Structures are given as structure tokens and as C-alpha cells.
Amino acid sequence: MQTINLTRDYDGDFVHRVEEESGQNVSLCYQCGNCTAGCPYTFAYDIPVSQIMRLVQAGQKKTVLSSKSIWLCATCESCTTRCPNQIDVACVMDVLRHMARREGLAAVPQVKTFWDSFLDSVKAHGRVFELGLTVNYVMRTGRFWTDLDLGPKIFPKGKLSLKPHEIAGKEHVARIFERFERESNS
Amino acid sequence: MSEAIAYYPGCSGLGTSKEYDASTRAVCRTLGLDLVDIPDWSCCGSTPAHTKDHVLSAALSARNLQLVSGMGIASAATPCPSCLTNLRTANHRMEAPAMAEKVNKLLDAPYAGGVEAISVLQALVEKVGLDEIKAAVRTPLTGLKVACYYGCIMNRPPELMAFDDCENPMAMDNVLSAMGATVVPFPLKVECCGASYGIPRQDIVARLTGKLLDVAKSVGADMVAVACPLCQMNLDLRQGQVNRALGTNFRIPVPYFTQLMGVALNVADEELGFGQLCIDPRPVLNKALSGADAQAKGA
């Protein structure tokens, strides 16, 4: 069993920020484990979701924000749907990723890189350019073997466009990102 | 016959799920459901946006809701559950004035609310209705055994999605049943397939999608009908990866439910795009239909 010195390690500000940003009362969690039981990703997590909730209650900011689990949650909403205390657990996981980003933490870096590549594509074209996103991800991670086997399956289907679908309002979409970045830095 | 609905295809509808978009349009046209394209719609931000920031995510969705509002239309339908979740979440979060103000600060044109986002499946069930859908069947899918797979977020969380049952949804089962198909009880209807982890963590998708295919096979399904472009890609395009990772030998067709509806409604084959799926469902489909036909003639 893990022992935590709450007198020394409790970060009350962290608990308060998680609650404020998620709009959830994390103290309602009584550790029934329903979220972990239904979570399809428990096998891949380093810390099961119910334990993430407990660590948040205990103000363990560093442990939580350094976990792999927060980057492997797919927001499938199983936890939120089944929580007997109506805690939006998936929203808490989302907010923890937001906080980890701000701290410069990403324990599963390729997941963050994939999501960033996706958003870069939206910012550039207004819509996702599927092939460009994949190439961008591969270039940024150096994982050149990614899905090479799928090329011969999908290219003959004529579905993947070789150039982006630029929309007329792509500058508008780019401005959403620019204003967001400005607001975040102010 | 019905009021017009704005149509939001989602980015994959222009690429990896072209056949979902095409079959959706053809089926809705056949059933008299008037889908109107949203001029210059943009990406909803999908999962990557909400994992980065909730205001950014809501703004990317709200740009589209605002465009629908400008069309003078009160509801938008999308075939993609990820788009649906984002559009509905944006509406929900923007009910709080402080959030609406933050989101509108990011937009060129503010969104004042009032546009409801629903799935194409919900539009078919609620705006056309099962009786009318059933009356339009020309080629019943008799003899075809289908597992209906809804994916994880089409009905969850129930307070947000407000449609069908969150643990045992039935809308797709009812529609395909009305088409004459035999829907088999499928216990993993809402279990996650691995979502967008196919690229960064293929091992996760292999395991979760493998479980879905395994159970579909064990309940005797000829095919798995889906309603989500990402689910479809994981179950069909990645089925070979699943087989290699798990040492299995699955070969289960994974059509969109709209493609199967199209067959029953006698939509022209070229509009249904079966050839754009990796495992072409037509051989299994034709075998099931001709088997039922032979049985009927023999009886």
C-alpha cells in the first residue's frame, strides 16, 4: 500500500483548481471503484481512474499530472455514466490533461503529439487533412513505421485526399486559435 | 414532408468515411428527410480540442452552430458521434453565461444558442419514424444476422446525449430490424473500440477492437453494423492489425448502418460505397439474402 504524508504533501490549491476547472466536487467520490471496473483502459493505465480520483482528493498534484493514465483516457464516458455520485469523472481527467500541459508534462508524449498534429491541421486548413495529419505526426515522432501496412489497404479505395480541403473561412478558424493563445498567455 | 435539417458531415465524411456520408445522404433523400449543407462548415475540434481546453473546443464547435443559426434552421444532424458530442457539449457549456462570454470572445461572430445537434440515427427515428422507415423497405434484409455497435459516446453520458438507453441502446437495432434483418443480442454495444489511439498506441486498439470482434463472432453475427467513422476504421481497416497482434483470424464485414438501410431501400449500389470498405460486405450480404430467398421459395 502507498503511504502519503498529507501534512507535508497535500496541495490544497491543486484540489481547488481541479474542482473549479471541472465544475465537479471531487470529495463526493467514496472509492466504490465503479469507474475503474468499467474503464476499458485500466489495463494500459499506470494508475487506475478511481485511484486518480483518490490522489486528487489527497492533493497529490505531481503524481497525478505525471501519470500516463491521463493521456490514455479516451473520454469514452463509461466512468461518468456509471458514477453513483454523478461525478463527471471523464471531465476531471480532461482537466488534468489541461493542467499537465500547462506544467509542460506529457507522460505519453506520442499521444500529445498526435493531438497537437490534429489541431495544427485544423488551424491551417479549417478542417482536418487526414493524410497530412498522419505525415505530420510521423515526422514529429520519427515513428516512420506507423501504419505503413495500412497504405496498400486504403489508398486504392480513393478516399484519402492528397491535398487538404481548404475552407473559405479558414482564417476565421485560425483566428479562433490565435485569440485562444493570446487569452491563455495574458 | 419534414422540416429541413442542417447537415454537418464532419471531416472524416470527406475522406475515410466517404461511404457513410454518401449512404446517409442517399437514405435520407429516399425517406424524404431534407438535409441542407452548412456552407463553409469547419472542424469541431474532436477529441484533441477538448483534451487541450474546453473554451477552445466549444469555440470550434460554436462556429458551426452559429452558421446553422444564420441559416434559420433550428437543428443540425451529424453522422459522426464525436462531432455530435462536441456540438452538444458546446451548447451545454455555453448555457453558463460566463462560459458563453469566453467562447464568444474567440469567435468572429458570436453564437447566441438555440441550435440543437442530433445524430443522423436520431433524426431518422424521430423525424421520419420507424413505421415510415419500415413502409419504405423494398428488399428486406431477411436472413442477415447483424450485431449493432453504437460506440462509446453516441448515448453517453445520458444527461448530455438525451437519446436512447445509455447501456443498452436500441435505435439502430430497431431500424435494422425494420429493414428485415435479424439483430443479434450484442453485449458490447457501447464498449470503446480504442478510439483515436490507433496511430499513437496501436496495441490498445488491437486489444479493445479484438474483444468486440471476438464477441460479435461468438454471438453469431454475419457482420457488425456501426454508426461511427472511428469505430468503423478500427474494426475494418485495422482488423488485419488486430489479427496479427492477437493471433486471430477474423474476417467480419463492418458496414455503416446507413449502407445496410440503403440496400433495403433499393438505393443504387454506387451510392452506397460498399467497395470503399476494406472487407466488402456484399458477398456475405448476398449469401444471406439469397439463402433466405431459396428458403422462402422452398417453403
Co-location of A94 and A148 in the same domain: no
What's the rounded mean pLDDT across residues B103-127? 98
For chain B, the average pLDDT equals: 96
Cβ contacts of residue A149 below 8 Å, gap of 6+?
B240, B241
* pLDDT digit string, tens, across residues B106-117: 999 999 999 999
Residue at a domain's end among A72, A102, A132: A102
pLDDT of B203 > 60? The answer is yes
Q: Do domains B5-121 and B138-298 have the same CATH topology?
A: no
Question: Could you tell me the residue range of the domain that residue A41 belongs to?
Answer: 6-102
Residue B297 or residue B57, greater confidence = B57
β-pair partners for B35: B5
Co-location of A51 and A68 in the same domain: yes
What's the rounded mean pLDDT across residues B99-112? 98
Would you state the pLDDT for residue A22? 98
Co-location of A94 and A125 in the same domain: no
- CA A5 to chain B, closest CA, distance in angstroms equals 31
What's the rounded mean pLDDT across residues B125-154? 98
The torsion angles phi and psi of B248, rounded to 5 degrees, stand at -100, 180
What's the rounded mean pLDDT across residues B140-148? 97
Cβ contacts of residue B25 below 8 Å, gap of 6+?
B7, B35, B271
* Residue B51 touches partner A, C-beta closer than 8 Å: yes
Would you state the pLDDT for residue B292? 77
- ipTM for the complex? 0.96
> For chain B, give me the number of helices (H) and strands (E)?
14, 7
Q: Residue B111 to residues A3, A76, B68: CA-CA distances in angstroms?
A: 49, 27, 10
**pTM passes above 0.95:** yes
Would you state the pLDDT for residue B299? 60
Do residues B167 and B206 lie in contact, with contact meaning Cβ atoms separated by under 8 Å?
Answer: no
* Residue B215 touches partner A, C-beta closer than 8 Å: no
Q: What is the residue-wise DSSP string for A44-65? A: T-SS-HHHHHHHHHTT-HHHHH
Co-location of A78 and A142 in the same domain: no
Would you state the pLDDT for residue B115? 98
The total number of structural domains that make up chain A: 2
**What distance lies between CA B95 and its chain's CA centroid?**
26
Domain residue ranges in chain B: 5-121, 138-298
Residue at a domain's end among A102, A127, A151: A102
* pLDDT digit string, tens, across residues B62-92: 999 999 999 999 999 999 999 999 999 999 9
Is the CATH number of domain B138-298 3.40.50.11810?
yes
Which of A92, A103, A122 is the best mutation test for B, with the most CBs of B within 10 A? Answer: A122
Which fold, B5-121? Answer: Glutathione S-transferase Yfyf (Class Pi); Chain A, domain 2 (1.20.1050)
Would you state the pLDDT for residue B1? 44
Residue A1 lies in a domain: no
- Window 152-191 of B: residues touching A by CB (8 A cutoff) are 152-153, 156-158, 166-167, 190-191
Would you state the pLDDT for residue B2? 59
- Window 233-292 of B: residues touching A by CB (8 A cutoff) are 237-238, 240-241, 275-276, 278
In whole angstroms, what is the distance from residue B150 CA to residue B168 CA? 9
- Percent of residues, chain B, with pLDDT higher than 70: 99
Would you state the pLDDT for residue A24? 98
* Residue B42 touches partner A, C-beta closer than 8 Å: yes
Co-location of A56 and A75 in the same domain: yes
Co-location of A96 and A175 in the same domain: no
Would you state the pLDDT for residue A33? 98
* pLDDT digit string, tens, across residues B18-53: 999 999 999 999 999 999 999 999 999 999 999 999
Per-residue pLDDT of chain A (186 residues; tens, 9 = 90+): 778 888 889 999 999 999 999 999 999 999 999 999 999 999 999 999 999 999 999 999 999 999 999 999 999 999 999 999 999 999 999 999 999 999 999 999 999 999 999 999 999 999 999 999 999 999 999 999 999 999 999 999 988 888 898 999 999 999 999 999 999 988
Cβ contacts of A186 on chain B, cutoff 8 Å: none
Co-location of A163 and A98 in the same domain: no
In whole angstroms, what is the distance from residue B76 CA to residue B8 CA? 7
Q: Residue B153 — pLDDT band, cuts 50, 70, 90?
A: very high
